[in-house]
Amino acid sequence: MASWLQIESHASLLLRVTHSNLKSFAADIRFSLQMSVEAVKDKVWKKCGTSVNSMRLELYDDCKNKLFDLSDESRPLGFYSPLDGFRIHIIDLDPSPVTSGGWLEDTSLVEKYSICEDEYNKRSGTFRKFKEQMANPSAFRNKINVRLLHGRPLHKYQGRR
């Protein structure tokens, strides 16, 4: 189809990838110039979560000027002549995407796990109980002595010289 376009087989470049709904998302990703736009979409959906069928890609230069809509999925990325440092911007076309509303960026929107004091105190192996053992050296020393008496090292290197 594009036989006049010659691209070296090992040619690749580093592009910044941004997302329309994820303001804090930016990734530097290496792409082959021979990759089709469809393959580029397949590679970036794994980084941002927007499905291949729900994204539109735009190419920007290093001065933030929009150069192209990468709309022909069969064309190789090299057709658009990107350079290292250019940016691919993902436009999420899904009307109700998981990436909208800040759910993936704003942790204040996520309900936090909570447990009442009584339930926490009933649990064994908590950090609070560990701290209490550390504050009471005799209890801690007794556990060490028991382990040494029974000949069981705390880990595989302890006790070996």
For the record, the structure tokens of 123 come out as 């649990």
- State the Cα–Cα distance between residues 133 and 127, nearest whole angstrom: 10
pTM of structure: 0.60
Rg from Cα positions in the chain: 27
Q: Given this model, what pLDDT does residue 91 score? A: 92
Q: Given this model, what pLDDT does residue 127 score? A: 86
Residue spans of the domains in the chain: they are: 12-101, 113-161
Q: Given this model, what pLDDT does residue 101 score? A: 63
Q: Given this model, what pLDDT does residue 144 score? A: 53
Right CATH number for 12-101 from 3.40.50.300, 3.10.20.90, 3.40.190.10, 3.40.50.720?
A: 3.10.20.90
Single-letter amino acid code for the residue at 28: D
DSSP, collapsed to helix, strand or coil, labels residue 143 as helix
**pLDDT tens digits, the chain, 161 residues: what are they?**
455 555 555 688 999 999 988 888 889 999 999 999 999 999 999 888 888 999 999 999 999 999 999 999 999 999 999 999 999 999 988 877 666 666 666 677 778 888 899 998 898 888 888 888 777 766 555 555 555 555 555 555 555 55
DSSP 63: T
